[in-house]
Structure formats: C-alpha cells, structure tokens
Amino acid sequence: MRNRVVLSSLVIALAAATAPATAQQWLNAPPNPKTNQSNFRSLEEWAAPNEYRNAAGKPGPKYWQQRVDYAIKASLDTASHTVTGSERVTYHNNSPDRLDYLWFQLDQNIDDPTVSRTIQDAPALPKQLSPMARRFLAPEPFDGGHKITRVQVVSTRGRVVSKVDVPYVINGTEMKVPLPSPLSGGEHAVVEIDWHFIVPETSRNGRGARERVTDGWLYEMAQWFPRASVYDDVNGWQTDQFYGQGEFYLNFGSYDVELTVPHDHIVQATGILQNPLQVLTATQRQRLARAMTSETPVFILAKDEVMTPGTRPAGSAPLTWRFHADSVRDFAWVSSKTLVWDAAGFRYRPGGRVIEMHSLYPRDAMPLWDSVSTKAIAQTMRTYGRLAFEYPYPKASNIHGPVFGMEYPMIAFCGARPSADGSYTPQLARALISVTIHEVGHNWFPMIVASDERKWTWMDEGLNSFLQYYAEQEWDPNYPSNRGPAKNIVPYMKDTDQVPIMTESDMIHRQFGNNGYGKPAAGLVMLREQVLGPKLFDQAFGEYSKRWAFRHPQPADFFRSMDDGGGELLNWFWRGWFYSTYANDQAVTNVDAQPADSLIGTTARGSNYWRITIENKGGLLMPVQLEITFDDGTSQKVKLGADVWRRNELQYIYGLFSDKTIVKVVADPDEVFADINRDNNVWEKGPAPAS
C-alpha cells in the first residue's frame, strides 16, 4: 500500500534531534576481536538452507506451496451498503503434511466492535483533525465485520461428502475450519462459506471502503471475502492476526467471480471480464477494441456520458458481471454508477500480446486522472518489465475512490483528487504519478513475487519503492523522488528510536514508511549504483524476481539470491542496513605526508607519500569514496569498497603518492551513502603557520 501518513502522523512525528545513541553505543562497545564479531561474518539469523530453499537463494528441489481456487457469487445492496456472498473454495494440499483443519482470514473483523484487536496507542488530539482521523477517533456506531452464516465441507480428500456443517471457530481476524477427515499431501478439500458485511465508509483496515462522490456512492471492495491463510514450510499456518498494518500473505489460485450490482453500475475487477455482451453496450465494446490498439487512452465512458441513458444495456434489473483470473493471490473490485472510464493497450514489442490498461474514476477526479493515470500504468509496465520481468497478467487497472493507495492483482486503488473547481498543483499531479506507479508496481511485489507481507513489509514495499524510484526517473529525469536517493533517508538514519528493517511489520512502532519503504529503497539504490554496479545488480535482482515469481520467498532467499547473482558475500551490507540501526558516519580525521624520496628514493608515482585517515563513527560499514583536492586546484576521486573495514572496522588509512600538496579531502562527496554527520567529512589544510 501507500504508506498511510494520515493516521500515523498523529501518533509519530517527534524527529530526533540529538546524537544517535546507536552510533554512540557502538563506539563505546566496538566489536570484540576475541570472538568473531566482524560485520563481514555469516548471518546467524538465516535458517540453514534446505531442500525447500537452497543456499543459492532458489526454490529447492522439494519446494512446495499450496493452491487455492475460488468460485464466488456476491451481490451489492446499495441501500444497506451490504455485500452478500457465497464462495466455494477448493483447497489443494501440496505440502508433505497432513492437515486437520484450514484457517481463513476474516479481515473485515478489524471493524467488528466485538473484536478488540489493535496495536495503536490512543493518539493525543492535535488542534486540527483530518476527516478520516476524526472518523477514526470518534466513529459512528458501525456494525462491521464478516458475518459468517454457513461453513460446510463439500468434499474432502477428493471425495464428495454430503454437505456437512462444521464447527468453525473465530479468533479475531482468523477462522478455523475443521475438516471431517484429515487432508494428506496431494489431496484437496472443497469448503463452502456464506457471509455478508457492511462496507465501511472509512475502514479501519485502510483498504476497501465506500464514498459518496459528487454523482453518488462509489464502492472499492477489498479484503471482502474469507480468504484461506497460507500454510508454508516456514510458518506452518501463518495465523498472525490482522491489525491494519501488516498486510496480506495469500495463496495463488484461480478465481471465477460473479458480481451482481445495480443496473446502472460499472464494475472493474481483478481478472478478465467474461460477459461483455451482457454488461457493456455495443458502443463501449467497440471503443474497448479500439483502445486496445491505441497507446494513448481512449474513453470507453466519457465524462459527459456518466449516468446518461444509453450507456447501460436495456432494462433495469441488476446485472451480473463475471470475471476470471488465473494465478492470482487475491481478488478486488470496484462498483459505481459514477465512473468515467479510459483505456489503452500496452505491448512490450510490436506485434506482441496486448496488456489491457484501464483507469476508472468519478468526474471529481478530472481533469487530472484522464491525463495521468493510464500513462503512469504504461510507465510501470516499461520500468518494472525491464528491471524485474515483463508483466505476465493480461490487464492492469487503476481506480480512484476513497482508498489513497492500495494494491491487488491487476487492480489498484489510488487517491490524488483535484480541488472542487478542477484545479490541481504540480505536487498533486506527481502524487498521482507516484502512487499509480507504486500501486500498479505492487503487481510485481508482492502480487507475483508473493512474500509474507504480514511479517516483512520491506520485501514488497521496499523492493517496490526501489523500482518506483527508477520508474519516476524514467518518467522525468528531474522527477523529485521522495524515496530512493540516499540524501532523503538521512533524517531517518539519525533517528535514535528506529528499529531494524528486519522487524516484523506489526512490531514497527513508528516511522513505518521510512522503515519499510524509504530505507530499503535507498539501500538498494546504493547497492545498485555504488556497490555492485547496475549490470550485476540488475542481473541478480532480475534472477531473484524470476526465481520467486508466483512463489513465496523469505528474506534470506532474497539476500542469498543477491549474493549468488552479484558475485560477492554482502553479509556486511545485509547485517548493517537490514539487521541493525547503525548509521553511516565517516570522518576524515587526519591527513599527513612524508617525502617519499627520503624513504624509497625518487618514485615515478610522486614525491610525497600521503596518508588519509578515515574513521567509522557510526557503526555502519559503507564503501569509502573520497574527493581529494590539491594545491594546484585539481582534484581526484577515489572509490574504495567496504572491504577496507575488514581488518579494522573503526579506522582505515588510505595512502597515495603525489607531487602535489593535498589541501582538502571530502568523504562521500556525492552524498550517496546517507552519512548522518557531514561536518566531520571534510578535512582542510590549515593556514601556513606564521613565520
């Protein structure tokens, strides 16, 4: 998702102004050379490689994952704002283990007043509250939550049984469904669940919600049906509760979904529409066909056509929209009579397959959305396609509504709305470009490279923010990207109360966006631009992405994959940037010279032998880059790897010969290593002593 600043800014905000305690602690207790405390040593945090996940960071020979197929029928009642659904879940047990029960996620229960699952402190009341925060703090009485009305097992171990009610049990946001007979590896069970829930106006889960825009209600539906939890080789059942922060770890499978909505609604969803003849007009179908041959957006339903006669098929009865999707891990949808719709087709190469791009938004979103959204989807296709892998799905949509930024397979929900008079600032346009790239980019991470989001925010948000940075720079080389440049993460690196990136999502107590998005993105930019170089980095990153596409990688799978593809052990980098809160603070503390010829005779390399002392005062090991300026005004740059710290992590002395006199040395001259204290980065030759 897009980091939710609205609520978290209420709770957090005290930026640290004092010296970093972490750096001080490190200086007080530097690594003990009598035991191997070198930051270059192996990471004991990583589980040993095994037959499921190998030492090279690849899925091992016995890698397995579960598969879950869904057939769902649901209807939307716009009078009571209720979704009523019935699903048939086919759970394929591909594990070697016998399962006695299944777990399902009931995310709507975060809005159930009887379920008290929260990790948020009560925030102090500031002088002004956003409307969303006001509703959060003083909500209208709301009967939210998944109301389960039927759970039956239809078949188990591949055998049809007479439908039996099973004694399911709900624990917060998780539901346990016992199986009448245990499910061995290779067997499947079919479970049917009926449910309904009221769509919240502003959800505490920060995802699906409804909003009354100018022309009427708009519904964005997410976390809307009971979804099977993941059973894997690392967690067993991943039953971490949903608190609103840690996101969604889900199984791949196919979806057949029938959505019955009021006649005047337009629906967009995960998957390909199966019955355009029933739900679209002939004009709309013709426009869609034309749009798919066009790189620039074509209106399928224009602004002045919204809610006009003739834009819906004849009749007035509710219409059922049917969608099908393969190899997806979730399904989301939008439904409203208020939607403008533009579309275009994307091809990676002339004559290649067409990827449908759709943008749907109420008139309130114009004139901004029609000029930006679909183009930003295309930019995402290009950049992510090159750096990770080409988009494998047949379609990508972007929807404007109440949810500011959230991702689902093939469909994203994005905010950024012009003022009521239609005006908008360049900043707002960039907010839409950035959030669109970000949310559509989530198709790669975690929708396809399907990490455990409930635990590891950085594995999707960090990798996605990293690629978002390059997509933004390709959109406009002068794009003022927030996340990616090392400089921008410096204030966070000074924070004395941060936790390591390798902290489970629901334990990140503050600065969630900097922790899960900004710091990993900046670190990966450093790794690409300064450590491995773009060529090797891109190979390794692309290999990781392809190895784990449609699979479930763990953190060590990423680290090992990058070591393996990048051609060096990056223990120092993973440990420092991901497992610690040390900051980079390099200081140039001394520069001295000896006449070289007095020691070794005249050398062709120069008459003076210079030694430059660099001290590591922050604890974080980083490469050393120096800009050395001489008395004749010339300068040279020196780029050294982090290996200079292998023998002594506190101090390194660089030597060079020159005929000239060094007058100035600057460490990290290009500000690419997030050095938190630049005052000590500069050494300058003092004035000559008065004679």
Judged by CB, which is closer to Zn ion: 1, or 355?
Answer: 1
C-alpha–C-alpha distance, residues 415 and 432, integer Å: 7
Quick check: 370 binds Zn ion (CB under 5 A)? no
Choose the binding region for Zn ion from 1-9, 93-101, 525-533, 590-598 (rule: CB under 5 A).
1-9
Q: Phi and psi for 82 in degrees, rounded to 5?
A: -110, 140
Interface mask (CB under 5 A) for Zn ion, residues 532-571, using x and -?
----------------------------------------
Judged by CB, which is closer to Zn ion: 1, or 531?
Answer: 1
Judged by CB, which is closer to Zn ion: 402, or 623?
Answer: 402
Judged by CB, which is closer to Zn ion: 445, or 582?
Answer: 445
Judged by CB, which is closer to Zn ion: 464, or 629?
Answer: 464
Tokens standing for 468? 């978002």
The site that binds Zn ion (CB under 5 A) totals a number of residues, namely 2
Tokens standing for 250? 């889900």
Closest approach of Zn ion to the CB of residue 400, in Å: 17
- Tell me if residue 684 falls in helix, strand or coil: strand
C-alpha–C-alpha distance, residues 323 and 202, integer Å: 26
C-alpha–C-alpha distance, residues 359 and 416, integer Å: 14
Judged by CB, which is closer to Zn ion: 364, or 439?
Answer: 439
Closest approach of Zn ion to the CB of residue 516, in Å: 9
511 Cβ partners below 8 Å, 6+ apart?
12, 492, 495, 498
Determine the length of the chain.
691
Tokens standing for 320? 């059922």
Judged by CB, which is closer to Zn ion: 253, or 513?
Answer: 513
Tokens standing for 332? 């989301």
Closest approach of Zn ion to the CB of residue 183, in Å: 34
Judged by CB, which is closer to Zn ion: 177, or 435?
Answer: 435
Q: How far is CA 314 from the centre of its chain?
A: 42
Enter the DSSP assignment of 586.
E
Q: How far is CA 250 from the centre of its chain?
A: 15
Closest approach of Zn ion to the CB of residue 439, in Å: 7
C-alpha–C-alpha distance, residues 153 and 175, integer Å: 14
C-alpha–C-alpha distance, residues 618 and 673, integer Å: 12
Place of tokens 């594990």: 95
Closest approach of Zn ion to the CB of residue 544, in Å: 19
Judged by CB, which is closer to Zn ion: 112, or 461?
Answer: 461
Place of tokens 């660099």: 614
Site residues (CB under 5 A) for Zn ion, limited to 433-492? 461
Closest approach of Zn ion to the CB of residue 269, in Å: 20
Closest approach of Zn ion to the CB of residue 405, in Å: 7
Helix residue ranges per DSSP H, 501-594: 512-513, 519-526, 534-547, 555-566, 571-573
Q: How many other CB atoms are found less than 10 A from the CB of residue 275?
A: 13
Closest approach of Zn ion to the CB of residue 196, in Å: 29
Closest approach of Zn ion to the CB of residue 445, in Å: 9
Sheet holding 333-336, edge to edge: 209-213, 216-221, 333-336, 266-269
- HSE-CB for 322 with a 13 A CA cutoff: 7
Yes or no: say if 297 and 342 are a contact pair by the CB < 8 Å rule: yes
Closest approach of Zn ion to the CB of residue 464, in Å: 6
C-alpha–C-alpha distance, residues 188 and 156, integer Å: 6
CA distances from residue 691 to 94, 464, 687, 688 in whole angstroms, order as listed: 85, 61, 12, 9
Interface mask (CB under 5 A) for Zn ion, residues 612-651, using x and -?
----------------------------------------
Closest approach of Zn ion to the CB of residue 419, in Å: 26
Tokens standing for 579? 């497992």
Interface mask (CB under 5 A) for Zn ion, residues 376-415, using x and -?
----------------------------------------
Closest approach of Zn ion to the CB of residue 4, in Å: 10
Q: How far is CA 46 from the centre of its chain?
A: 22
C-alpha–C-alpha distance, residues 576 and 583, integer Å: 8
Judged by CB, which is closer to Zn ion: 466, or 572?
Answer: 466
Judged by CB, which is closer to Zn ion: 342, or 461?
Answer: 461
Q: How far is CA 508 from the centre of its chain?
A: 15
Helices (H) and strands (E) in the chain, counts: 16, 31
Quick check: 585 binds Zn ion (CB under 5 A)? no
Judged by CB, which is closer to Zn ion: 199, or 440?
Answer: 440
Strands, DSSP E only, in 56-207? 67-77, 82-92, 99-105, 147-156, 159-165, 169-171, 174-183, 188-198
Report which secondary-structure segment, H or E, holds 494.
none
84 Cβ partners below 8 Å, 6+ apart?
74, 75, 77, 195, 196
Judged by CB, which is closer to Zn ion: 461, or 668?
Answer: 461
Closest approach of Zn ion to the CB of residue 415, in Å: 13
Q: Which amino acid is at 96?
A: P
Quick check: 1 binds Zn ion (CB under 5 A)? yes
Judged by CB, which is closer to Zn ion: 240, or 461?
Answer: 461
Closest approach of Zn ion to the CB of residue 408, in Å: 12
Closest approach of Zn ion to the CB of residue 247, in Å: 8
Judged by CB, which is closer to Zn ion: 1, or 471?
Answer: 1
Judged by CB, which is closer to Zn ion: 188, or 519?
Answer: 519
Alpha-carbon dihedral of residues 258, 262, 264, 269, nearest 10 degrees? -30
Alpha-carbon dihedral of residues 269, 272, 274, 277, nearest 10 degrees? 80
Closest approach of Zn ion to the CB of residue 2, in Å: 6
- HSE-CB for 247 with a 13 A CA cutoff: 29
Nearest to 266 by CA among 341, 192, 330, 208: 341
Closest approach of Zn ion to the CB of residue 565, in Å: 25
Yes or no: say if 192 and 68 are a contact pair by the CB < 8 Å rule: no
Judged by CB, which is closer to Zn ion: 300, or 521?
Answer: 521
Interface positions with Zn ion (CB under 5 A): 1, 461
